[in-house]
Chain A
Amino acid sequence: MPVINIDGIVKQPDGGKRILDNVTLKIEDRSFACILGPPGAGKTTLLRIIAGLEPPTEGTIYFDHQDVTDLSPQKRGVSMVFQDFALYPHLTVYDNIASPLKAVGSSKEEMNQRIKEVSEFLKIADLLERKPEQLSGGEMQRVAIARALAKGPRICLFDEPLVNLDYKIREGMRAEFKLMQERLGQTIIYATPDPVDALAMADKVAILNNGKVEQYTGVDEAYNHPATVFAGTYLGYPAMNVIKCSLVEREEKLLLDAGSFTLDVTALKDKLKSSAKEIVLGIRPEYLNISEEPLEGMDASFEAKIVVGEVIGSDTIVHLRLGEHLLKAFVPEIYRARLGKTVWISFDLSDIHIFDGLTSKIVI
């Protein structure tokens, strides 16, 4: 049974442009959904509308088929953790977590039990007597999350909760978030600009761009079958390579003409039958293989020049120039290459995506 139904939500301030444009999402009970998009996509506005902090201009929000669009935030049973969370500086960690429980009149025993549970889970059980000023940024963030979870809401909304934390703390918290949600069985909606958050934690991801949902599906599905150019490039790190091409027929062959190179796609002829002529070729960096000689058994090989190689521990991102195009290849090992060196990049046709050049929508 879907717990949250977001149906045709529009947010348009008087005379302004649409912040949210007909957003429709079904979020299953006890699932982890990510709203992914760049700054200004409308992520925070959408969360605020779900929480009841802002009314939509059009559209309806249902919780378990019940229309809650006009319900006050207090009556929705939703808790929200913001990017700039605030703790009460004069209260201990325990009292900070307890404050929403006190507000609803929980008994002391009940409160102790809840706080014990969430604080052990979030590894802050040793910090309960401290004041916020004695905590690190990561610890404060855990306390804010504990406070949101302690009152046991069915739905938790998180607005970029990790964005102000050090990279290293973020890395550890992703796994914690995921385990916490599985243990406590809440429905989580998590807004973030970081594709790694979505890839690591979400069951489903809604990719939001300029107030519109570009794609909403399972994370693996979105990664393997992007619906639009934007969805393909945004969900991925490093981003998918995209090249504008024209589809041309020449001597019974079907070719993608990218200016400085042409790719024979005759094998995909049936699938491209009704495609537009102007298209966008997409290929993820990990599907580009780099070698000294053209690789046998691959569908396509091109010569390219190495622009720069970035070794990240055990992996390498190689930036290459192919004619006027700049491409990135992900090599899962340490690859040291001389700048300006000519290499071969090879790939299979089964690993490419083709998008309509005009609508940006997926063709194959």
Chain B
Amino acid sequence: MAKISLRHVTKVFSGKVVAVDDLSLEVPDRGLISLLGPSGCGKTTTMRIIAGLESPTSGKVFFDGEDATDLHPRERDVAMVFQFPVLYPAMSIFDNIAFPLQARKLPKKEIRKRVNEVSEILGLSDFLYQKPKGLDAGTRQRAVLARAFIRRPKVYLLDEPLTNVDPTTRVELRAELKRMHTELGQTMVYVTHDQSESLTLADEIAVMDKGKLLQYDTPERIYESPANRFVGWFIGNPGMNFINCRYQESKGKVYLDAKIFKQDITSISKKIKETSSGSDLILGIRPEHIEISPDKKIAEGIKARCILVEPVGNRKILHLQAGDEIIKAKSSSKIKVSKGDKVWLHFSTDYFKIFDGKTYQSLV
């Protein structure tokens, strides 16, 4: 059990590379938070600072309100799991899992009980007396997770633990991790570049880019109300569509004017006018909020041509060319649209997200 606070943490490598830039973040006790971002965004460095493997150039780390910035990793009572499973090759899976308890000289009976318990949850019972060699990556990673969980440390730090596991096993393990967290109720920090892992696992997601924390919020809020253009693009599969527009007033009404369409936005114009840096705006709209039909339904319908259909099992992603814009729409796999077809796109202002054209920050 532990609450972790990072206050104004900055990490500069070799005097010039800013890996983490003035990051402040609270991980609630028993919370499962995710650090999410592309390669090089500073998420792993942030995790290593929490673990004590790196010391921040400036700023402080607190565990349960106490300054832990200079505490040795061993004194922090954290368990870490990395992308590549590391097991002792000469030991059986049982001994690998039991190792932290054996080191603490717990009674044999107690060790056996706890190993059996955790192996049951993680589906390892059949592999306990095998050596790591010859087991697939998924099974080995399960063993590493079991070893971390059996210790019951204050904090779990997981750095892309599912990246090297095959996609089918990944879905299974992801659900198991979520269940483990619900059952154990310990503080977890989960680092990943895969937005679907963050969305499914975390109570709160910290989206990072170029060392900066861009948004720290629940998965729902991150998905529905991205704080800026980057978050809207990074979250979602595929991410949000963006269309460059201009703010235009005419005859007492306000319009969002893109080359391919013009939309009346009088009802939400007040806030945009107050907060935007100029008249350049970006409209953001999620692929699942675009309706496609063979004919024009409303005046603002946009004419488009389908240039690519990506069937992804239970969904189809349509790539649509409208003027100079390429818009991605997500639809049911039953839709009958093929490459080259002319279609009309409709979207409702209810789902509009509007970003500033210069600062890329969310306005509405």
Tell me if chain B binds chain A.
yes
Stretch at the interface among B52-60, B109-117, B232-240: B232-240
Q: Is the CB of A239 within 8 A of B199?
A: no
Interface segment among A60-68, A71-79, A190-198, A271-279: the answer is: A190-198
Task: Report the interface size class on chain B.
Answer: 35 or more
Contacts A38-B166, A312-B196; A330 near B171 (Cβ below 8 A)? no
Which of A38, A167, A313 sits near B193, CB closer than 8 Å?
A: A167
Is the CB–CB distance between A237 and B167 below 8 Å?
yes
How far is A219 from B330 in the complex, measured between Cα atoms in Å? 19
| Interface check A304, CB cutoff 8 A | no
Given A168-B239, A171-B237: A39 in contact with B178 (beta carbons within 8 A): no
Least CB distance from B327 to A in Å reads: 12
A166 touching B178, Cβ below 8 Å: no
Contact pattern, A 80-113, Cβ under 8 Å of B = 1, otherwise 0: 0000000000000000000000000000000000
A319 within 8 A of B: yes
B204 CB, min distance to chain A CBs, angstroms: 14
Distance A52 CA – B363 CA, assembled complex (angstroms)? 57
Q: Take A179-B307, A311-B219, A317-B171 as given contacts and tell me if A286 and B166 are in contact as well, using a CB distance cutoff of 8 Å.
A: no
Q: Given A174-B310, A194-B167, verify A166-B193 contact (CB < 8 Å).
A: yes
A237 contact set on B, CB distance < 8 A = 167-168, 171, 312-313
CB distance B313 to A236 under 8 Å? yes
Verify B175–A308 contact, CB threshold 8 A.
Answer: yes
- For B236, give the chain A residue with the smallest CB separation: A313
Q: How far is the CA of A125 from the CA of B199 in the complex (A)?
A: 35
Residues of chain B within 8 A of A196, CB atoms compared: 167, 312
The yes or no answer to A294 lying at the interface (CB within 8 A) is: no
Knowing A166-B193, A200-B310 are in contact, say whether A313-B223 is a contact too (CB < 8 A). Answer: yes
Contact of A193 among B167, B175, B201 (CB under 8 A): B167
Say if the beta carbon of A153 comes within 8 Å of chain B. no
Which residues from chain A contact B175 at a C-beta distance below 8 Å? 307-308, 310, 317, 319
Q: Is B137 an interface residue (CB 8 A)?
A: yes
**Is A178 located at the chain interface by the 8 A CB criterion?**
yes
Most buried by A among B171, B236, B319: B171
0 or 1 for each of B175-219: is its CB under 8 Å from A? (1 = yes): 100110010000000000111100111000000000000000001
Q: Are A311 and B199 in contact (CB under 8 A)?
A: yes
**Which A residues lie within 8 Å of B182 (CB)?**
308, 339
Report yes or no: A167 in contact with B171, Cβ–Cβ below 8 A: no
CA distance A308 to B201 in the complex (A): 10
A233 near B311 (CB under 8 angstroms)? no
Q: A168-B195, A310-B178 are in contact. Are A239 and B311 (CB under 8 A)?
A: no
Q: Tell which of B38, B237, B312, B314 touches A166, judged by Cβ atoms closer than 8 Å.
A: B38
* List of A residues within 8 angstroms of B168 by Cβ: 233-234, 237-239
Map CB proximity to B onto A332-350 as digits: 1 under 8 Å, 0 otherwise.
Answer: 1000000100000000000
Contact yes or no, A219 B311, CB < 8 A: yes
In the complex with contacts A39-B137, A175-B319, A234-B168, A312-B313 CB distance below 8 A: no
Query: Do A312 and B174 have beta carbons less than 8 Å apart?
Result: no
A166 to B313, CA, bound (A): 22
A 188-225 contacts with B by CB, 8 A: 193-196, 199-201, 219-220, 223
Of the residues B171, B178, B193, contact of A238 by C-beta under 8 Å: B171
Q: How far is the CA of A99 from the CA of B193 in the complex (A)?
A: 33
Which of A39, A178, A195, A286 is in CB contact (< 8 Å) with B314? A286
Tell whether A134 is near chain B: CB-to-CB under 8 Å. no
| Residues of chain A contacted by B199 (CB below 8 angstroms) | 310-313
Query: Taking the complex as formed, is A152 at the interface, i.e. its CB lies under 8 A from any CB of chain B?
Result: no
Q: Verify A199–B313 contact, CB threshold 8 A.
A: yes
Interface centre among A168, A174, A193, A201 (most CB of B within 10 A): A168
Using Cβ atoms and an 8 Å threshold, which residues of chain B touch A193?
A: 166-167
Q: How far is the CB of A223 from chain B (nearest CB, A)?
A: 7
From residue A123, how far is it (CB to closest CB) to chain B in Å? 12
For residue B353, CB closer than 8 A to chain A, the reply is no
Interface flag for B286 (CB, 8 Å): yes
Which of B38, B171, B220, B330 is close to A239, meaning CB atoms less than 8 Å apart?
B171
Q: Mark A149-180, 1 if CB is under 8 A from B, else 0.
A: 00000000000000000111101101100110
Contacts of A339 in B (CB 8 A): 182
Please, which residue of chain A has its CB at the minimum distance from the CB of B339?
A182
Of the residues B178, B179, B234, B286, contact of A314 by C-beta under 8 Å: B286
Indicate with 1 or 0, residue by residue over B305-341, a CB within 8 angstroms of chain A CB atoms.
0011011111101010000000000101000000000
In the bound complex, what is the Cα–Cα distance between A96 and B161 (angstroms)? 34
Closest to A38 in B: B166
How near does chain A come to B136, taking the closest CB pair, in angstroms? 7
Per-residue interface assignment for chain A, residues 248 to 271, with 1 indicating a CB less than 8 Å from any chain B CB and 0 otherwise: 000000000000000000000000
B179–A286 CB distance below 8 A: no
Say yes or no for B39: interface residue by CB 8 A criterion: yes
Name which of A175, A196, A223 has the most chain B CB atoms within 10 A of its CB: A175
Residue of A nearest to B178 (CB): A308
Among B136, B175, B311, the most chain A Cβ lie within 10 Å of the Cβ of: B175
Least distance between B355 CB and chain A CB atoms (Å): 18
Contacts of A305 in B (CB 8 A): none
Report the separation of the CA atoms of residues A15 and B194 in the bound assembly, to the nearest whole angstrom: 42
Flag whether A8 is at the interface (Cβ < 8 A). Answer: no
Complex Cα distance A200/B317, Å? 9
**In the complex, chain B residues whose CB is within 8 Å of the CB of A59:** none
Interface residue? B288 (CB, 8 A): yes
Q: A136-B40, A286-B314, A312-B237 are in contact. List 7 more A-B contacts (CB 8 A).
A: A136-B39, A166-B38, A178-B308, A200-B310, A284-B313, A310-B178, A314-B288
Name 25 A/B residue pairs within 8 A (Cβ), A-sorted.
Answer: A38-B136, A136-B40, A166-B38, A167-B196, A169-B38, A171-B237, A171-B239, A175-B310, A179-B307, A195-B313, A199-B310, A199-B311, A199-B313, A307-B175, A307-B179, A310-B175, A310-B199, A311-B199, A311-B200, A311-B219, A312-B196, A313-B196, A313-B223, A314-B223, A314-B286
| Residues on A facing B (Cβ under 8 Å) | 38-39, 136-137, 166-169, 171-172, 174-175, 178-179, 193-196, 199-201, 219-220, 223, 233-234, 236-239, 284-286, 307-308, 310-315, 317, 319, 328, 330, 332, 339
7 interchain residue pairs of minimum CB distance: A310-B200, A286-B314, A200-B310, A167-B194, A166-B193, A239-B168, A314-B288
